[in-house]
Amino acid sequence: MEHDKRPSTRQVVKTLIAEDGWKGFYKGIGPRFFSMSAWGTSMILAYEYLKRICAQDL
């Protein structure tokens, strides 16, 4: 079974710059930032909630 040869990192960067310019490196940064912020916030809230539950006197 033959696999297609994958482009190197250098080739991908050259193609990205040729097609989209330097702005191509920042595509999707807004949605990614929002997604990571939402996950991070929910993780911290869940951790703090569980910490308070575990610290209560039984």
Query: Rounded CA gap, 9 and 48, in Å?
Result: 41
Q: What is the pLDDT of residue 2?
A: 57
What mean pLDDT value characterizes the chain?
A: 90
List of the chain residues with pLDDT < 50: none
Please state the domain extents for the chain: 29-58
Whole-structure pTM value: 0.55
Q: What is the 3-state secondary structure (H, E, C) of the chain?
A: CCCCCCCCHHHHHHHHHHHHHHHHHHCCHHHHHHHHHHHHHHHHHHHHHHHHHHHCCC
Q: What is the pLDDT of residue 49?
A: 96
Q: What is the pLDDT of residue 40?
A: 97
Q: What is the pLDDT of residue 44?
A: 98
